[in-house]
Chains A and B, each alone.
Chain A
């Protein structure tokens, strides 16, 4: 954990609640207990009681949407999935399933830890309120006006636009994020299928357990050996449940980066959009400056309707010309502000810094995840060796 985080955070529990929703319908939902303690108190060896409050998933979503809009140049950590996907047959797709809720609890904690340890995000006030103010937090978020920004951003991003001078690095990064999404989702799908098959293999061995047990009843010499071998077969069949439960955590680690890829893509897209807006604003500024020049010098460089009517019907009065010049000057000043804003808004450096940070984090986390996967496989192999060695002993004694 990053020691810049002011607080020690944990999502300790999950509970079912009932209440009326926005349209006054009765619904059941899960709330999660967030516990926080000041970091320095913990470091000094005190053990203060944690502050705690309950939040539901939709509140986490609200927080994240706020962060995305407010920090468009940051690859914002993703939430655990809204609905269970890449499900293999035995795994429940039900949001109320206790295993799903537990994995979600872990995912939400992970989200908070990532956000709280991010060099930029950790200082956000709204994040602080989320962790400390149970009531009044929602009002505070809406007060920031982020919703309007979110809506306009959504509209803008869904429109098609073409950038004249795309930033090569960002384009490559966007392409990478698409590929990352594609590969991780393929991997997760294939893994789920393999898990399903493996489940089948193990469970069928349970049938051996049953048959051995029944068979042992009719044998004299072989009876004991068959009976005990049968127990080992039952144990073997049962062992797959824990094995696959553990593997779900690995899948969750990969899913986090599947969703991270989306966040990365969003940063690139936002950059692209801002670039486009900058180009539009620059274009507009240039044309306004040209108009001013024409008005000032009387030399018409470009075709304009006003210019034509002037030629045909005579020049306009000097007062009118002054008024128009003044208007143009104001617009140009505005335009220059816009261009400045947009230039900054691209946040090229800040975005690039965060993308680098993300890249390093990703490489480290995923390497660890792959190592964990290998550790899980090794553990499964050791269990297999144990069970079958035991079974062999039983057969030898027959």
Chain B
């Protein structure tokens, strides 16, 4: 219908208040009546992304005007609970921010709030996932240092993904999240629980009715999403298995090297080479431990993130389907109308048609952006993993070569050249 893409705001369809009015205090510019910012940057950016999809998905570092970091996790103890607060620092030159630097403290629940707001407002945009609430393995405590660090990194990535998103980074909720010293007043209001209820009810109703037919490109997308999700789960599992096997390997290496050392103590002529081998094995096991560390910190989190992304994609596809289903339902009602209902039904159908078109276009645009981003991220993680493997083998090679050199130097005195 209209083909012009505007960041969709469906808050009017929600049951409760539109909280955006509260945000006006923090914005310098005038906004459109429905609370969304002036459409100069976001939509033009979206159009840019839709047309230029062969720039290798690289973010133009030059045009990046907002930098966010998440660090300094600190434990907070209250009477009722203990939780971690993270420091979120923002540096920006954007004019819609009052200041160029902000520092706030946020807890995990605040991030969850932000993400749900973004998803509500943009149901068919691909909002980067958050790290999981709990780790299913059961071995990791919530406040274990490794867990906190892993989560901190994931939260950092989350905010950076949002800040790099052409539409989401201009979200009012995002700005509030980055700037408000106290988020509580903003969190209390707004659609939240009830709107989610409403959405679920509609979703169930729609699934009962079913979708007449999915447009070809979304059918293809759905298939891809299902396959991609499978592959990511496999990759995640395989990587974790590799780490497990490597850990056991290192443990056994630690039992292995002393057998050489102990034997060396028994011998005379052989003491030196035996201790040499023992030392080589020890050094190699240290390198292997470092390698495991790297895999755990770089490759596994990256893969895991995309397992979660796959779930996000599935949710986005579902929401898009629901929007289409709602339109189809209303359209059918229109066809079986009674004369007096016609005008009103027609209006409703038009609104839903528009909404559907916007939803589809948003998704199409964001899909391309997401694919680039995925390729960049995973490519970089794989390259890093491959490099680390090479480095590991290079270091071990050096260890054994220096042992050889020492042995041949020993032998060099009386023997022929053992080249």
List residues of chain A with CB under 8 Å of any chain B CB: 176, 179-180, 183-184, 186-187, 190-191, 193-194, 196-198, 200-201, 204-205, 207-208, 211, 214-215, 218, 221-222, 225, 229, 362-363, 366-367, 370-371, 373-375, 377-378, 381-382, 384-385, 388-389, 391-392, 395-396, 398
Contacts and interface: CB of A to CB of B under 8 A. Distances in A.
B227 A392 contact: no
Given A194-B249, A214-B231, A186 B259 contact: yes
Given A204-B241, A221-B375, A375-B404, A193 B396 contact: no
Nearest to A207: B238
B397 to A, nearest CB: 4
A180 B266 contact: yes
Given A180-B266, A205-B242, A378-B401, A388 B393 contact: yes
Contacts of B401: 378
A207 B266 contact: no
Contact of B396 (A187, A218, A381, A392): A381
Contact of A193 (B246, B252, B267): B252
A385 B395 CA distance: 10
29 contacts: A179-B266, A186-B262, A187-B263, A197-B245, A201-B246, A201-B249, A204-B245, A211-B234, A211-B235, A211-B238, A214-B231, A215-B231, A218-B231, A222-B375, A222-B378, A225-B379, A363-B270, A367-B407, A373-B277, A374-B277, A375-B404, A388-B389, A389-B386, A391-B386, A391-B389, A395-B383, A395-B386, A396-B383, A398-B379
B273 interface: yes
Given A176-B266, A371-B407, A388 B231 contact: no
B403 A374 contact: yes
A186 B259 CA distance: 6
Interface in B196-240: 224, 227-228, 231, 234-235, 238
Nearest to A378: B400
B382 interface: yes
Contacts of A218: 224, 227-228, 231
Which 4 pairs of residues, A with B, have the shortest CB-CB distance?
Answer: A384-B393, A392-B386, A381-B397, A183-B263
Contacts of A391: 382, 386, 389
Contacts of B248: 197, 200
B81 interface: no
B359 interface: no
Interface residues of B, number: 52
Interface of B: 224, 227-228, 231, 234-235, 238, 241-242, 245-246, 248-249, 252-253, 255-256, 259-260, 262-263, 266-267, 269-270, 273-274, 276-277, 280, 284, 375, 378-379, 382-383, 386-387, 389-390, 392-394, 396-397, 400-401, 403-404, 407-408, 411
A217 to B, nearest CB: 8
B249 A370 contact: no
Contacts of A375: 404
Contacts of B392: 384
Given A201-B245, A378-B401, A388-B386, 11 more contacts: A193-B252, A194-B256, A211-B235, A363-B267, A363-B269, A370-B270, A384-B389, A385-B397, A388-B393, A395-B379, A398-B375
A389 B393 CA distance: 11
Nearest to B273: A370
Contacts of B397: 378, 381-382, 385
Main secondary structure of the interface of B (DSSP, over half): helix
A370 B396 CA distance: 16
A77 to B, nearest CB: 19
A385 B390 contact: yes
A214 B224 CA distance: 12
Contacts of B242: 201, 204-205
Contacts of B277: 370, 373-374
B367 to A, nearest CB: 13
Given A218-B231, A222-B375, A398-B375, A392 B387 contact: yes
Contact of B394 (A176, A201, A366, A385): A385
Nearest to A206: B238
A300 to B, nearest CB: 55
A30 to B, nearest CB: 32
A139 to B, nearest CB: 43
A385 to B, nearest CB: 5
A311 B252 CA distance: 79
B382 A229 contact: yes
A7 to B, nearest CB: 26
B249 A200 contact: yes
Contacts of A389: 386, 390
A193 B255 contact: yes
Contacts of A222: 375, 378-379
Contacts of B390: 384-385, 388-389, 392
Nearest to B382: A395
A201 B241 CA distance: 9
A13 B117 CA distance: 77
A314 B228 CA distance: 116
A193 B256 CA distance: 9
Nearest to B285: A194
A196 B141 CA distance: 32
- Greatest chain A CB density within 10 A among B382, B387, B403 is at B382
A391 B381 CA distance: 13
A215 B235 CA distance: 10
Contacts of B411: 367
Contacts of B408: 371
